[in-house]
Amino acid sequence: MANASALLELGDRYWALGLPAAAKSALARAMAVTDAAAPALRLTELALAQGDAVGARRFAAEAAKRAPGPSTKILLGRAQLASGEIAAARMSFGAALDAPKITAWDRARAHLELSRAAAAQSDPAGAAAQAAAGFEAALTAALAAVRVENLPMLEELATAVVAHGRTSDAAASIETAKDCAGRRMCAAALLAARHAAGDDGVTDSAIDAELAALEQAMPTPAIKLRRMERQTRKLSTVERDALLGELDGLIHASAGEELPPVDRARLWFLYGALCADDLATRDRAESAYRKGLAFQPGHTAAACRLALLMFDRGDQAGALAEIERALRIDANHGLAWRNAARMLDAQSPSLGVIVGRLLDAANPGAGSAAGGVAPRLVTATAEVVRQDVIAGVYAHGHRVKNLLGIIGARTRSARKLAAEGDVHDRLKDLEADVTALYEEWAQYLRSMQAPTPTVELVALPPLLHEVVLAAQARTQQVPIALETTAGLPDVRGDRMLLREALLNIVSNAAEACAGTGGGEVHIRVRAVTSPGASTAPLVELVVADTGPGIPRAHLGRLFVPGFTTKETGSGVGLAIAERVVSAHHGRITVDSEEGRGTTITITLPTDKSGLAALPLWTVAERNA
């Protein structure tokens, strides 16, 4: 028995340290050497926290067999509810409520779980009645004996009574209760739930006052944590740093047994949220979210926040794993799906793999069923949305452009009428600014138009020499090298459009190098074998620079009109290039590494079938 107690304590310590696998191992060994229910109870709670419904069901059944009391019946019901066995769960909760020795806190838990079961069966009246009964039982228990470890359950009950429209009943019960720490704890939980639900009758100051009074009556880490969570809403930089220091102290002070796992998770999530607000502490934010998820792996929102942090620093593989975790926890979570959408690049060759993984996470087996079709739908949807947005901006943008033209013309007229002097000079400066803005806006609108190439045979070597000379004239201090191969086939397309696209790309590369005070641009063009049935080769053109590189988080937005990583850039050059290449039925991809440089690869077809969808051919080809 002593050995089982030591293993049980070891499992608890592992769990407190956020090591669930080690905790499971120790608790499983404890369960094997004793007939007591404690190891099975701990294993059930651990499995529920990790979203392991099958494991929770198995361990809860074992716990109920070893100690057939109200608390184990409730735990078994929770596991059954997690497994989708709603009828069986309701029977377990009902049996617990009928037990003669059920405690007030267990009664509250049973009613809360019955409310969830009723909601799962689309029984709103039953869910509301059970939530109200649960809050009443929790209030009774809190008035008799305050137990801070039950605060998370009390907050869940408060959220349930508000969600099911029983706020007034709960508030009336609190109003008639005697003034003590238990009453204040219930009042604070109800106020917070009402505020979260958008109740205009609850102010921040009212909640802060209730929490302050509660903390004075119960100066525990759990209450202190709630107060600090409220503080994070409006913080200056100095206040944020001070709160981070206070959280550090709370983390070290609560290393013992004072905080249950769910509150440890809240502590780390709060720490992560504060660190995420500052670029200098973002690495600490990731670490904090991981530690919190070790205590509460089933927290969908935290998994989504961690995914965003990883995605922003370019770790797409890690972000995808966290999004999969979030979808496995809750396939209906909106933020998880929005994060999933950020992972989808319609031009990526791995789109099918990513879509399959996301579908499998949300609904096991769906990936193999729809993985081949879904990427096409994703690509088409992205293009439709993009075209709709661009069409709307383009239509309204013309009004702005016309207004800028009118302002420029009237400014010019006013300047001509004004006598030489300060007013004349100011009008001249305004005219120059408006004219520059007009030209930039006109170029921006042009980047949104799908170009219609006039097709001809275009020899690339002379075109590229022309592009290099033009780009070199713009950025003379950066060397631009051109490497071509003999026998390069001509491409079919619009020479002027291709020249503009290539000049934008090469100039961007040279400007990136110039911004660092060094570097070079290397252009390589060659013929490559077509991967399809066509025997005609493709032309691959690679523009590589040794500039500062682009953050991976920005790569997916490079071709969005208006997006730029340069302080003085317009964000239209690459957008125009991408639309020109697409109009020629080619492909453009970007690979970059911060500190190493950027490589843009363009692939263009050389045969007529590659341009079959274009509306206009040369006269000779049309006649042929």
Looking at residue 559, the DSSP 8-state letter turns out to be T
- Residue scoring higher pLDDT (13 or 139): 139
Amino acid at position 236, single letter: S
Of the two residues 14 and 38, the one the predictor is more confident about is 38
pLDDT in tens, 465-511: 998 998 888 888 889 999 988 888 888 888 888 888 888 889 888 88
What is the per-residue pLDDT for 114? 94
Region of poorest pLDDT, from 113-122, 251-260, 428-437: 251-260
Mean per-residue pLDDT over the chain, rounded: 80
Q: Which amino acid is at 299?
A: H
Mean pLDDT, range 315-344, rounded to an integer: 79
When comparing pLDDT for 617 and 445, which is higher?
445
pLDDT of residue 126: 93
pLDDT confidence bin for 621, thresholds 50/70/90: very low
Please calculate the CA angle 126-130-135 and round it to the nearest 5 degrees: 150
Task: Please list the residues that pair with 525 across neighbouring strands.
Answer: 541
Q: How far apart are CA 260 and CA 155, in angstroms?
A: 14
Which stretch of 365-374, 413-422, 460-469, 597-606 has the lowest confidence by average pLDDT? Answer: 365-374
Helix pair 300-312, 282-295: axis angle to 10 deg: 150
Give the lowest-confidence range in 75-79, 138-142, 161-165, 378-382. Answer: 378-382
pLDDT given for residue 344 in this prediction: 74
45 versus 448: which is more confidently predicted?
45
pLDDT band at 159 (very low <50, low <70, confident <90, very high): very high
Place 524 in a pLDDT band, splitting at 50, 70 and 90.
very high
pLDDT of 448 > 60? The answer is no
User: In the structure encoding, which two tokens stand for residue 65, read together?
Assistant: 């067999």
pLDDT for the residue numbered 165: 92
Comparing C-alpha atoms, which of 294, 335, 331 is closest to residue 311? 335
Question: Using CA atoms, how far apart are residues 595 and 367, in angstroms rounded to an integer?
Answer: 37
Choice between 313 and 168, residue whose per-residue pLDDT is larger: 168
Q: Which two tokens stand for residue 257?
A: 């047994």
Query: In a 10 Å sphere around its CB, with 0-12 CB exposed, 13-18 middle and 19+ buried, how is residue 616 labelled?
Result: exposed
Structure tokens at 282: 């973002």
φ/ψ of 458, rounded to 5, equals -120, 120
Contact 46, 78 (CB under 8 A): no
Q: Which residue has the tokens 């500062």?
A: 548
Is residue 307 helix, strand or coil? helix
614 confidence band (pLDDT: 50, 70, 90): very low
DSSP state of 418: S
Q: Which has more confidence, 554 or 62?
A: 62
At 549, the pLDDT band (50, 70, 90 cuts) reads: confident
Is residue 161 predicted with pLDDT exceeding 90? yes
Please tell me the predicted confidence (pLDDT) of residue 93. Answer: 92
Angle at 303 between CA 274 and CA 305, to 5 degrees: 40
- Band (83; pLDDT cuts 50, 70, 90): confident
State how beta strands 597-605 and 538-545 pair: antiparallel
Comparison of pLDDT for 113 and 621, the residue scoring more: 113
Q: What is the DSSP letter of 542?
A: E
Would you say residue 623 has pLDDT above 50? no
The CA radius of gyration of the chain, in Å to the nearest whole number, is 33
Pairing state between β 491-493 and 538-545? unpaired
Residue 347, pLDDT > 70, answer no
Q: How far is CA 10 from the centre of its chain?
A: 36
Q: What is the pTM of this model?
A: 0.52
Least confident of 68-77, 334-343, 412-421: 334-343
Pick the more confident residue, 219 or 139: 139
Query: Distance between CA atoms of 272 and 251, rounded to whole angstroms?
Result: 13
The secondary structure of 326-379 as a DSSP string is: HHHH-TT-HHHHHHHHHT--TT-TTHHHHHHHHHHHHSTTHHHHHTTTHHHHHH
Q: Residue 396 has what pLDDT?
A: 63
pLDDT in tens, 271-288: 888 888 777 788 888 889
Residue 251: Cβ within 10 Å count: 17
Which amino acid, one-letter code, is at 571?
A: G
Between 515 and 383, where is the model more confident?
515
CB-count exposure of residue 458 (10 Å: 0-12, 13-18, 19+) = buried
Q: Please give the pLDDT value at position 387.
A: 62
- The pLDDT of residue 251: 78
Which comes out higher in pLDDT, residue 376 or 276? 276
Query: For the segment 172-194, what is each residue's pLDDT rounded down to a tens digit?
Result: 999 998 888 888 889 888 988 88
- pLDDT the model gives residue 622: 30
The reported pLDDT for the residue numbered 300 is: 82
CA distance 39 to 7: 9
For 400, residues 6+ apart whose C-beta sits below 8 A from its C-beta are 441
